[in-house]
Structure 1
Amino acid sequence: MKKNLILLCITAVLVFSCNKKKENTEVPDKNDTIATEKPLTKADSIVNRTIEAHGGKLYESADYSFDFRGKKYHFKNNEATYTYSSEIKKGDSLIKDVMTPDQFERSINSNLQTLSKEDESKYSEALNSVIYFATLPYKLQDPSVHKTFVEETTIKGKKYDVIKVTFGQDGGGKDFDDEFHYWINKQTHKIDYLAYNYLTNDGGVRFRAAFNTRVIDGLTFQDYINYEAPLETALKDLPQLYEQGKLKELSQILTENVTNNHK
């Protein structure tokens, strides 16, 4: 009897230990994991799908050059970091700008220049702006970007999701208070139109229509016709004015001679 009681106690201890070990090693319930994650908004889901349609993960290691308005531009991404540069020949001088997340430098004929804070800000913003538009929608996933779904609409018989984008002051750049709208084709998931308003230099409203869309080694590049609208025009009203021919064409945004430097 005593022997049986000892065996029973040992068995109980072993069963308890096994159950405890199972509890400690068991994979958490899937629903518990999901509950701790922040759910994607409709705007986030649309933008993520758009980034995928334009090139997706290829952006993270992209290394491309292109020409824009007489300057040679280069962007090289390495996941969370990047190097942007531009260069232009003026007379006997070769002016080169280089920007990373940590610094901006300008050199003339390989001689590093000492810049005022104002000039450094002006040149770096100009460089960043060109790369930003050339690589849309890649940067729309940055933490400083605030995205909102506006509506579904139709432009020239095609259906679009409209996404509003604003920027946080921390990481949003000098013009963080600008507002953008993107019209994303529901069939191709690519950006066909974009618009923005800005406050600098007395402010303005612009609407851009994409053309010459092409895919170069997996990344989508587009040119744009740039239109002007009257000040204080609501961005969501611009497609209707565009269809009615009431917007004034200002310029064309041409990204030319695009080269994949990995090849």
Structure 2
Amino acid sequence: MKYLPILFLAFLISCKPSENKLTAQQVIDKAIISSGSDKVGNSEINFEFRDKKYIANRKPNGSFKLTRKYKDEKLGFISDILSNDGFRRLVNGVPYQVNDSISNILSNSVNSVHYFSVLPFGLNDKAVIKKLLPSATVKGKEYYKVQVTFSENGGGEDFEDVFIYWIGKQDFLVDYLAYSYHTNDGGKRFRAINKEVLKNGIRFVNYDNYKPLNKEISLTDIDKAFEKNELKKLSEINLENIEVQILE
């Protein structure tokens, strides 16, 4: 009987939840908390990206207003605004009519920049489908790999796109992401962190943007291709002059 406490202790240890047994949902939930993205849904965020000004206003009730502002040499000052009410364009402060096809392109363009700027915020949207892939080690750091796809209902026009996020096993931060897309003949992209900054407790990340030298490289193996220098750097995704206000 004197061995019973030891056996009982061993039983408790064996029943303790393991970090390696986290679900995709649990990994994403931890990533959102670790990056401060849980604050994004109650904030106003301003930043500049490629000579354009972006403003995002989000509230806990789900209302949002995503704006892009810039000056066009021909038209003047342009504001593209995406909100719960849809998309609209202002030119010099006056509503400007655009046809539906152009409106969809502009809307997707505005949404894409705002979406990527605050990741992993948004990965718990109803249309998101998450799947845990086998873990990986990149540059000596261990990562969970979470694949994200979208349901056709609510997933937008690009619902067929596939994303993979590399989330650190110790810090639960997204350092790499990759995606495949079908527009413009399709392709794959891989983004690797080059800088991070905290603003009011929210983590923002700048990335180097790559594409595979060989189109046959699979999206799930693109991290291996990155370590083998089989990717070509295309550009940098840099957010500048970031300002964050947490709303009351």
Q: How does the TM-score come out when normalised to structure 2?
A: 0.87
Q: Residue type of the partner of 2:97?
A: T
In 2: Cα distance, 1:195 partner to 1:246 partner: 14
Written as runs of structure 1 = structure 2, the 5 A alignment for 1:47-66 is: 47-66=28-47
Q: Distance in 1 between matches of 2:121 and 2:89?
A: 26
Residue equivalent to 1:113: 96
Q: Which residue of 1 aligns with 2:232?
A: 248
Matched residue count: 223
Q: Tell me the distance in 2 between the aligned counterparts of 1:223 and 1:157.
A: 20
2:134–2:144 contact (8 Å) kept in structure 1: yes
- Please tell me whether the aligned partners of residues 205 and 232 of structure 1 are also in contact (alpha carbons under 8 angstroms): no
SS of 1:140's equivalent in the other structure is coil
* Residue 262 of structure 1: how far off its partner (Å): 5.0
* Residue 155 (structure 2) pairs with residue 172 (structure 1): yes
Check if 1:141 corresponds to 2:124.
Answer: yes
- Mapped to 1, the partners of 2:37 and 2:204 lie a distance apart of 13
- Partner secondary structure for residue 124 of structure 1: helix
Matched residue, 1:259? 243
1:42 correspondence with 2:23:
yes
Q: 1:56 Cα shift?
A: 4.0
One of 53, 64, 71 as aligned partner of 1:89: 71
Separation (CA, whole Å) in 2 of partners of 1:130 and 1:71: 11
The aligned counterpart of 2:144 is 161
Q: Is the 8 A contact 1:227 1:250 kept in 2?
A: yes
Q: Which residue of 1 aligns with 2:82?
A: 99
* Bigger-Rg structure (1/2): 1
Structure 1 consecutive aligned stretches of length 4 or more whose deviation exceeds 2 Å: 230-233
Alpha-carbon deviations, 1:232-251, whole Å to 9, x = none? 42112111111111100000
- Is 2:192 the partner of 1:200? no
Runs (5+) with no aligned partner, structure 1: 1-40
More helix by share: 1
**Residue 235 of structure 1: which of 219, 236, 247 is its match?**
219
- What is the deviation of 1:102? 2.2
Q: Within 2, Cα distance between the matches of 1:104 and 1:182?
A: 29
Task: Give 3-state SS (helix, strand or coil) of 1:46's partner.
Answer: helix
Partner of 1:5: none
Instruction: Give me the CA root mean square deviation.
Output: 1.4
CA distance in 2, matches of 1:56, 1:208: 19
Structure 2 residue identity aligned to 1:100: S
What stretches of structure 2 of length at least 5 have no aligned partner? 1-21
Task: Note if contact 2:37-2:119 (Cα within 8 Å) is conserved in structure 1.
Answer: no
Q: Answer with 247-256 or 87-96: which moved more.
A: 87-96
What TM-score results when the alignment is normalised by the length of structure 1?
0.82
- Between the aligned partners of 1:262 and 1:140, the Cα distance in structure 2 is 20
Deviations 1:74-109, CA, capped at 9 Å, x for gaps: 101102121100100123700101111221110110
Choose between structure 1 and 2 for higher RCO, CA contacts under 8 A separated by at least 6 residues.
2
Q: Report the Cα distance in structure 1 between the residues aligned to 2:126 and 2:216, rounded to whole angstroms.
A: 28
Q: How far apart in 2 are the matches of 1:217 and 1:46?
A: 23
Determine what percentage of the aligned residue pairs are the same residue.
35
